[in-house]
Amino acid sequence: MQSKRGFVLLIPLFVVALIAAGAAFGYYYFVVNKPAKVETRTATTTEVSPKQFFLSVINPVDGVLVTEKKLLVIGTSLPDTVVVIYTDDSEVSTQSDKDGRFSGQIDLIEGLNSLTVTAFGEADEETSVSMDVVYNKDS
């Protein structure tokens, strides 16, 4: 009888301890261990000469972590510029439209991908932007 009473008294204590542990966990996770702000990065731009030939890659940015195998590369250059986009395992070429916009989809391998975007101008100009893109499907 006495042991049953002891057990009944123990359960509320355990419940209170459990709630306290939950509250402590919540406080630690949301207040103490508050996730840092994600830094914003600007697009990479390489200009050979102002007002003339240029290449600007809007997406992706250097050192980005992605979770999709297919990556859409978007950028701008002069109108009708041939742009080649490649990694060690995949490549695509495209031409910018009348507004200078271009895009191309490239396949990534899991892990670290060295991406290069090279634009070729009419007067033999050539400019490249290189960056690292990390594909982790589990992120």
Partner 1 sequence: MKYLLTLLIALVLSNFLVTTVVAKEKPSEVTVGKVEKINGNRLKVGLTDILMDLKTKVVGRKIKLDSKVAVVSELATRSGNLKKALKIFVKEGTPSGQLKRRAVQGVITGISGNVITLAHQTKQERKFNVLMDSQTIIKSKNSASGSAALVVGVRIVAMGTPTEAGLLAKLIHVIPGKATGVFRKNPVSTSSATVSATPTP
**Residues binding partner 1 (CB under 8 A):** 8, 11-12, 14-15, 18-19, 21-22, 25, 29, 32-36, 38, 63-65, 80, 82, 84, 86, 88, 91-95, 110-112, 116, 118, 120, 122-124, 126, 132, 134, 136, 138-139
Min dist CB 53 to partner 1, Å, is: 13
- Are 75 and 56 in contact by the 8 Å Cβ rule? The answer is yes
Identity of the residue, 22 or 47, whose beta carbon is nearer to partner 1 in the bound complex: 22
Min dist CB 45 to partner 1, Å, is: 19
Identity of the residue, 14 or 50, whose beta carbon is nearer to partner 1 in the bound complex: 14
Identity of the residue, 56 or 125, whose beta carbon is nearer to partner 1 in the bound complex: 125
Cα 13 from chain centre: 47
Which amino acid does the sequence have at 82?
A: V
Min dist CB 124 to partner 1, Å, is: 5
Identity of the residue, 43 or 134, whose beta carbon is nearer to partner 1 in the bound complex: 134
Residue 29 to residue 84: CA distance in whole angstroms: 45
Min dist CB 135 to partner 1, Å, is: 9
